[in-house]
Structure 1
Amino acid sequence: MPRYALKVDYHGAGFAGWQRQKEHPSVQGAIEAALAKLEPGEHTIAAAGRTDAGVHGLAQVAHCDLVKDWDPFRLSEALNFHLRTQRVAIVDCAAVDDDFHARFSARERRYLFRLIARRAPLTHDRGLAWQVKRQLDVTAMQAGADRLIGRHDFTTFRSSICQADSPVRTLDELRVEEHRREYEVEYRFHVRARSFLHNQVRSFVGTLERVGAGSMTPDDMTRALEARDRAACGPVCPPEGLYLAGVGYPKDPFTG
């Protein structure tokens, strides 16, 4: 059966997350339903990461197996036709070898978190960023973020319901950018690792926001990490500012 890699862009609002659920809409369910319109029957796709409810995708990667030998461009166009009422789009498609797996072949995941500081309510970015009222100290946040780089036990920064066998992960990048505009300041957190724990990125950002606000110091980030205790974590920020921004593979399936 021919296998295809799909690059998926989606707005997380209105979905109960990526993973298929019986009683709630999901991104996976929407794509599988579209595939069933092209080739009747049940379809199961696998993705590089299972994003939570409200989290967005800029470049999620999934793969599917089909009976027909599709031209990748025509497959993406056909899927987008059936997804036209959903906030989901296939932005790229490629034929891949049978041993390609969207999840297990991945070597890194990249996330973006958007935080906007402004007094007035968000309009254009409502549902697409986390809003706080006061500007933050980006230098302090980066100093705190630097304490997390490397291989650590991240128990403090994972959800209590996380099902990962081990809390040990290697964090390759946690970079904070500041973008000033006339009425607001946007802080973008760029996070990169091979794999993540449940709520790890949102826990990072929620705690770093406290550093930026002056309620915590960069040294407190070190103490929180070393505590290996969920109680030492700052507040977990809301999901609407989080985006799965990219997935890295030994060979990019979309550039061949």
Structure 2
Amino acid sequence: VMYNQQRYLIFFQYIGTKYSGAVKVPPHQLEKKGVQDHLEDALRRLRPLNPVSLSISSRTDRGVHALSNSAHFDFQRKNDKPPFTEEILVEALNFHLKAEQISVTRAYRVPDDFHARFRALSRTYVYRIALGVSQPAQLPLGELNRVCAMREAAAMLVGTHDFSSFRAVNSDMPFRNPVKTLDVASIQPGRAFVCEHFHREIPFWELTFQSKSFLYKQVRRMTGALVAVGQGRISLTKLKDILESRDSLAYPHNVVAPARGLFLTRVDYRESGK
């Protein structure tokens, strides 16, 4: 390995509305690019000698946002140039990303065997639910007066379970173990972390989920189920039946929460600061 090749771990955030998800899209799909496509374009503009390829830690779906996602990549500069410092890398990438709703928040130089996805100890997602918003496209909440039932439902999901009922069908399905350990499922009144996007104070509830990893659409399905419990559309017994059936088709099809309320808020690593 040349002395001027360096592996970096970056943390980045994005509003996911205009992207097809975190990971890159196949070249023949022209409609929307993934966040990864834009990050790799920005990296190429820094003229690496090696082909640029990002490994993203958390594959968020189309329309999902991130306050902190992460990825690693190798970057080799021309022979007479030392590796970029972390500060310069962040600045240079953001310069090339300024037309996008994507920004790099931090960079770290990491060992050559570091892997952003496999080294992650946990991922935390927050689903934000606005109360009293009556647009038909949004969750038809009215007042969420049954928070106690929702908290009881959340407690039922915490721990190690076969979450097959809470995953959507996709091509990864045969290869992913449906048994996951959900460390946190909590329901709290929201803090206004995107308050500046709204003209008036809208009351929020936040559903927080933390696990080492999640199945495809698991967080949106768990959110939808908890909200349905809060609305009295699903009983706690019914939720227990859905979980215990371990069957993707047992999940009621009209209950999945829409992507736009979901934020990946952190990816944790063992090293200090990461």
After TM superposition, the score normalised by the length of structure 1 is: 0.90
Identical counterparts, % of pairs: 33
Q: Provide, for residues 189-208 of structure 1, a one-character-per-residue CA deviation record: whole Å limited to 9, x for no partner.
A: 11000111000000000111
Q: State the AA in 2 paired with 1:158.
A: R
1:38 to 33, 39, 46: 46
Tell me whether 1:236 sits opposite 2:256 in the alignment.
yes
1:104 to 111, 118, 126: 118
* Cα 1:29–1:47 shift into 2, 3 Å: same
Query: 2: distance between equivalents of 1:215 and 1:245?
Result: 29
Query: 1: distance between equivalents of 2:141 and 2:243?
Result: 27
Q: State the AA in 2 paired with 1:172.
A: D
2:203 to 167, 185, 207: 185
Spell out the pairing of 1:215-254 with structure 2 (5 A cutoff). 215-234=233-252, 235-254=255-274
SS in 1 for 2:93: helix
Q: Provide, for residues 174-227 of structure 1, a one-character-per-residue CA deviation record: whole Å limited to 9, x for no partner.
A: 101124999743110110001110000000001111100011122222111011
Larger radius of gyration: 2
Q: Provide, for residues 69-100 of structure 1, a one-character-per-residue CA deviation record: whole Å limited to 9, x for no partner.
A: 01100110000000000000001111111121
Which residue pairs with 2:178 in the alignment? 167
What RMSD in Å do the two structures reach over aligned CA positions? Answer: 2.1
* Cα 1:180–1:248 shift into 2, 3 Å: closer
SS in 1 for 2:153: helix
Is the CA contact 2:186–2:207 (under 8 Å) kept in the aligned structure 1? yes
Spell out the pairing of 1:1-256 with structure 2 (5 A cutoff). 1-21=5-25, 22=27, 23=30, 24-40=32-48, 42-68=51-77, 69-121=83-135, 131-136=139-144, 137-161=146-170, 162-163=172-173, 164-179=175-190, 184-234=202-252, 235-254=255-274
Number of equivalenced pairs? 248
Q: State the AA in 2 paired with 1:194.
A: K
Instruction: Give the drift of 1:46.
Output: 0.7
Question: Which stretches in structure 1 are left out of the alignment for 5+ residues?
Answer: none
